[in-house]
Amino acid sequence: MKNKAKKYWRENLKYLFILLSVWFIVSFGAGILFKDFLNQFKLGGFKLGFWFAQQGSIYVFVILIFIYIHLMNKLDKKYGYAQ
């Protein structure tokens, strides 16, 4: 039983690390670090770096939440923790 819980937690941490990395890259990277490069392009009449800092990162955050929900539901079923 403990081994199953450890595997579950390890896989959960893997998902968290990947999703938080995406979150960091989008929020900090696209909004701050890569802003100058992204500002060469426009989306909806706005520079892309500005758009990511103001709107795009929020959309990505919401999408990441739904991805995490989907991954955790699959993980719960895989390890028998589904309710």
Question: What pLDDT band is residue 21 in, cutting at 50, 70 and 90?
Answer: very high
Into how many domains does the chain fold? 1
State which residues form the domain around 24. Answer: 2-79
* Of 11-15, 18-22, 38-42, the least confident: 38-42
Q: Is the pLDDT of residue 14 over 90?
A: yes
Angle at 21 between CA 53 and CA 13, to 5 degrees: 140
Which pLDDT tens digit goes with each residue over 26-60?
988 888 898 899 999 998 899 998 988 888 899 99
Q: How far is residue 15 from each of residues 18, 38, 59, measured CA to CA in Å?
A: 5, 27, 19
Mean pLDDT across the chain: 92
